[in-house]
Each structure stands twice: as structure tokens, then as C-alpha cells.
Amino acid sequence: MTGKDEAELSGLFRAAIAGNERAYADFLHRIAALVRGFVRRKIVQGGVDPEDVVQETLLAIHVKRHTWREDAPVLPWVYAIARFKLIDAFRRRGRRIEVEIDEIAETFAEPEAETVSERDINRALDGLPPTQRSVVSSISVDGHSIGETAAKLGVSETAVRVSLHRGLAAIAKRFGRR
């Protein structure tokens, strides 16, 4: 930017404050390009969208246009607003770095299929009283409902629920889980 550009922009902004809409549109158009370049140079990593900062800066210029002193250059005032809006954007982003998942997908281990053998199931059911073993096996292994299990064993559904709860609690305790 040269001194001539500064003088033109200051003149446009003075005219805009005086009510010249055409001068204001021209001023905002030229300032947006300058701020866009400024912001893009300052953002080296992702996470902050330069266009968002440009728009917030233009909005702040509009809202705070009455604070500009007409005898002062306009560009330092504009760049100060842009700098503060950029700082606000970085603060909102926080200290996290955003990485596209596709860029690091090959570093993830493939999930292993969880398999339970017949031996593991029998080991878990060992040590349960016969009624609890039958209930847990019927519901958890065979997939029967509480009502089906109650009918099959000839007991009430409440008794099945109690046996299931106690059996699962005993298995969890046996394997170190609460």
C-alpha cells in the first residue's frame, strides 16, 4: 500500500461516513481484499476460516466506524481491528489442531473381531448353581426371553429375573468386574 492508496481509502471512508453509499461500497470492497490477504498470511495452520475473520472484521468496521478519527490514517485502524478479530478466532479455536481423518486413517489398527469360544462360555458358567446356570445360559447364550425361560424351567418370571441378576453378578465378581 502506498501513501496514495491510504489517502484514497481515507477519502472514501470520510465520504462513506458522510452518507455516500457508493463510496462506502467501494471502501468495503477494497478493504475486504486487503484484510483477506492480511488474514491469509497470518493463518499457517487450519482451524480458522480466513473468510470468517474477514466478515467479522468488516462487520466490526461498520459497527465501530464512528470511533475512527478522520484526521488519522484509516489502514492502521482497519488492521488493528483485523488483528483483534484474528486473535478472537484463534481463541475460539483453542489449542486443538484439526486433522482430516483420511490423512491418518492408515495409522489406526484394524479392530479385532471379538470371539468367545465354547470353552470361555463354559468357564464363565462354571461355579454357578444349576438354576442360575440354566437361566443365564438360556437368556444370555441361547437368546431366549425371560418369559420363554420361565416357561421352559417351570418357574415364575420374577424368579428368572432374580436368578439372571444373581448369576451375572457372580460371573462379573469372579472375573474381577463389578
Domain boundaries, the chain: 1-99, 116-177
| Identical topology for domains 1-99 and 116-177 | no
The pLDDT tens digits of the residues spanning 126-155 come to: 878 888 889 988 998 888 999 999 999 999
Q: What is the pLDDT of residue 47?
A: 72
CA distance 86 to 9: 22
Q: Which residues of 13-39 are buried (b: 16+ CB within 10 A; e: fewer)?
A: bebbeeeeeebbebbbeebbebbbebb
Separation CA 39–CA 87 (nearest Å): 10
Among residues 81, 76, 33, the alpha carbon closest in space to that of 60 is found at: 81
Distance CA 85, CA 68 (A): 17
CATH code of the region 1-99: 1.10.1740.10
Burial-class residue 9 by CB neighbours within 10 Å (0-12, 13-18, 19+): buried
Which ranges of the chain have pLDDT less than 50?
Answer: none
CA 61/CA 104 separation, integer angstroms: 41
pLDDT for position 116: 62
Q: Alpha-carbon distance 32 to 51, whole Å?
A: 10
* Residue 44: count of CB within 10 angstroms of its CB: 7
Q: Please report the pLDDT score of residue 129 as a whole number.
A: 87
CB 124 within 8 A of CB 135: no
pLDDT at position 80 is: 93
For domain 116-177, give its CATH number from 1.10.10.10, 1.20.1560.10, 3.40.50.300, 3.40.190.10: 1.10.10.10
- At residue 148, the pLDDT reads 92
pTM of the model as a whole: 0.52
Q: What is the pLDDT of residue 93?
A: 76
**How many Å apart are CA 78 and CA 65, to the nearest integer?**
10
Task: Output the pLDDT for position 96.
Answer: 60
Neighbour tally for 96: CB within 10 Å: 7
